[in-house]
């Protein structure tokens, strides 16, 4: 494992699920934030936390038109070691190399760690970058609640932030002249092409919706089968309908990866079920069309069990097309199109959110398993080093 990743390999291990569970401002995430600050300060960088909990490590004075590189340190529940931290560790290493070589940047430079990229605690992916750019309303964000009923406002206060200051941060955003995020690839693109590193070309449109299936809570022993309105059985039919709808929409992906059964007792017919839908497709219109089809299909499926379904949107990101001029320039700086593919991805990233406000680009590092959001996610040390080499080269070309 890459040395920087080995330093944090024991932080946030999840013995129950396997892999890592590192969630915003909870034990492992707090440890990683401290680790990052110490690591950056040891490199001579000046660390600050912005009003939304994103961490910045500045090489010299913060300033306008800065080149900013980084990713995130939080994870999905039971995630891999690379999704997020690889980009942070690589950014620190690339900056360390530049400093050690005596390179003098002609513009400000910072390493950025975005907060709550996965949305594992408060449900909204890329929460830190959405807050920074004003991509989520601050009042709505403050009211988000975690699994323990703690609001984002309360959690922010406990983390030492003023919840009144959460939200669009024009000053911080105005400092970014260019953002570059390096990330482990979350599919098989580079494996199939036999290359270690790619530049990202686009991100699928994607969003999250909550399906609330309502039935009749009742006694598991005293309620005959024909008298039931069981929302969990309805949810099971609805989930199959989600899969069928996605299979009928070319290039679309739809997933229910999280369920909450209310009240959740072995001898209790549930009264309601929350199912979270993650839906993605190549264009905004196709994604909207997919979700409309899902909404109709889950309603019909639930009716079989006498239940109803309410669908509410929780987050949305339109298709991201990274600036083709920047993509072309970076591929050419890294050795040309034959060596460095441009790859689309179905995974969301802070670079995708930031791309709506500032020039942004991504590098992908080969993942031999092709698996992500799972402990099986992997990258060979040699490919991680190729990623750092590429990031260093790009930074030299723009600094």
Q: Which residues of this chain interact with ligand GLV, rule CB under 6 A? A: 118, 125, 347-348
Contacted by 383, from ligand GLV, Mn ion, none: CB < 5 to 8 Å by type: none
Q: Which of helix, strand or coil describes residue 339? A: coil
Contacted by 84, from Mn ion, ligand GLV, none: CB < 5 to 8 Å by type: Mn ion
> Which range touches Mn ion (CB under 5 A), out of 75-83, 135-143, 193-201, 231-239?
75-83
Segments of 318-398 assigned E as strands: 320-321, 342-345, 360-365
- If one asks whether residue 128 binds Mn ion (CB under 5 A), the answer comes out as no
Are the C-beta atoms of 379 and 365 separated by less than 8 Å? yes
Q: Least CB distance from residue 71 to Mn ion, whole Å?
A: 6
Nearer to Mn ion, 83 or 169 (CB): 83
41 φ/ψ angles, rounded to the nearest 5 degrees: -65, -35
Q: Least CB distance from residue 153 to Mn ion, whole Å?
A: 25
- If one asks whether residue 293 binds Mn ion (CB under 5 A), the answer comes out as yes
How far apart CA 309 and CA 242 sit, in angstroms, is 13
- If one asks whether residue 70 binds Mn ion (CB under 5 A), the answer comes out as no
How far apart CA 51 and CA 280 sit, in angstroms, is 30
- If one asks whether residue 83 binds Mn ion (CB under 5 A), the answer comes out as yes
Are the C-beta atoms of 185 and 365 separated by less than 8 Å? yes
Tokens 């669009």, located at residue: 168
Torsion over CA: 302, 303, 307, 312 (sign): positive
Contacted by 348, from ligand GLV, Mn ion, none: CB < 5 to 8 Å by type: ligand GLV
Contacted by 289, from ligand GLV, Mn ion, none: CB < 5 to 8 Å by type: Mn ion
Contacted by 94, from Mn ion, ligand GLV, none: CB < 5 to 8 Å by type: none
Q: Least CB distance from residue 75 to Mn ion, whole Å?
A: 7
Are the C-beta atoms of 307 and 214 separated by less than 8 Å? yes
- Quickly count: other Cβ atoms within 10 Å of residue 154's Cβ: 14
Residue of minimal Cβ distance to ligand GLV: 348
Q: Which residues bind Mn ion (CB under 5 A)?
A: 83-84, 289, 293
């Amino acid at each position: 494992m890459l040395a920087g990743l080995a330093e944090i390999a024991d932080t946030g291990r999840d013995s129950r699920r396997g892999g890592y569970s590192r969630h915003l401002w909870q034990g492992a995430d707090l440890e990683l934030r401290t680790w990052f600050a110490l690591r950056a300060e040891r490199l001579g960088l000046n660390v600050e936390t912005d009003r939304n909990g994103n961490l910045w490590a500045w090489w010299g004075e913060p300033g306008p038109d800065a080149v900013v590189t980084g990713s995130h340190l939080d994870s999905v529940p039971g995630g891999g070691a690379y999704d997020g931290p690889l980009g942070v560790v690589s950014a620190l290493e690339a900056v360390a190399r530049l400093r050690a070589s005596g390179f003098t940047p002609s513009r400000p430079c910072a390493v950025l760690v975005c907060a709550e990229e996965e949305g594992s605690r408060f449900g909204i992916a890329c929460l830190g970058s959405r807050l920074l750019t004003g991509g989520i309303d601050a009042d709505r964000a403050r009211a988000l609640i975690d699994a323990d009923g703690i609001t984002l406002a309360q959690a922010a206060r406990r983390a030492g932030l003023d919840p009144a200051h959460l939200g669009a941060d024009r000053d911080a955003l105005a400092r970014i002249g260019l953002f570059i995020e390096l990330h482990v690839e979350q599919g098989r693109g580079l494996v199939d092409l036999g290359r270690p590193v790619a530049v990202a070309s686009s991100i699928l449109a994607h969003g999250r919706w909550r399906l609330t299936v309502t039935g009749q809570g009742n006694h598991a022993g005293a309620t005959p089968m024909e008298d039931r309105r069981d929302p969990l059985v309805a949810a099971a039919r609805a989930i199959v309908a989600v899969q069928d709808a996605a299979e009928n929409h070319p290039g679309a992906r739809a997933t229910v990866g999280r369920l909450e059964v209310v009240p959740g007792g072995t001898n209790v017919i549930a009264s309601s079920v929350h199912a979270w839908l993650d839906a993605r497709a190549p264009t905004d219109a196709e994604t909207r069309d997919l979700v409309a089809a899902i909404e109709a299909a889950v309603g019909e499926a639930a009716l079989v069990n006498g239940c109803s379904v309410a669908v509410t949107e929780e987050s949305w990101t339109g298709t991201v097309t990274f600036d083709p001029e920047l993509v072309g320039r970076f591929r050419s700086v890294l050795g040309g199109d034959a060596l460095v593919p441009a790859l689309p991805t179905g995974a969301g990233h802070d670079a995708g959110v930031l791309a709506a406000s500032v020039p942004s680009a991504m590098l992908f590092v080969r993942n031999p398993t092709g698996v992500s959001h799972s402990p099986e996610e992997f990258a060979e040390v040699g490919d991680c080093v190729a990623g750092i080499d590429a990031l260093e080269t790009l930074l030299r070309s723009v600094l």
